[in-house]
Amino acid sequence: MKLLTRDTDYAVRALIFICKAGRRREGATVTADEIIKALKLPKALLRKSLQTLSKNKILISGRGKRGGFSLSKHPSKINIVDIITIFQGPVNFTNCLLRNTPCPNRRMCKVRKKILNLSKYVSSALEKITLSSLS
Among 5, 95, 117, 133, binds DNA (CB under 7 A): 5
Note whether 13 binds DNA by CB under 7 A: no
Note whether 57 binds DNA by CB under 7 A: no
Contact (CB, 8 A) for 86 and 15: no
Among 57, 77, 114, 127, binds its own copies (CB under 8 A): 114
Per DSSP, which regions of the chain are E strands? 59-62, 68-71
Q: Which is closer to its own copies, CB of 74 or CB of 117?
A: 117
Site for DNA in 18-47 (CB under 7 A): 31-33, 42-45, 47
74 contacts: CB under 8 Å, gap ≥ 6:
132
131: closest CA among 45, 36, 16, 3?
16
Q: How far is the CB of 83 from DNA (least distance, A)?
A: 13
Site for its own copies in 34-93 (CB under 8 A): 39-40, 84, 88-93
Measured distance CA(102)–CA(123) in Å, rounded: 25
Note whether 7 binds DNA by CB under 7 A: yes
Task: Output the CA torsion sign for 123, 127, 128, 133.
Answer: positive
| CA dist list (Å): 91 to 61, 83, 85, 113, 124 | 27, 10, 7, 15, 10
Among 17, 19, 58, 69, binds DNA (CB under 7 A): 69
| Stretch touching DNA by CB under 7 A, among 16-24, 56-64, 77-85, 112-120 | 56-64
Contact residues for DNA, defined by CB under 7 A: 5-7, 31-33, 42-45, 47-48, 50-51, 54-55, 61-69, 88
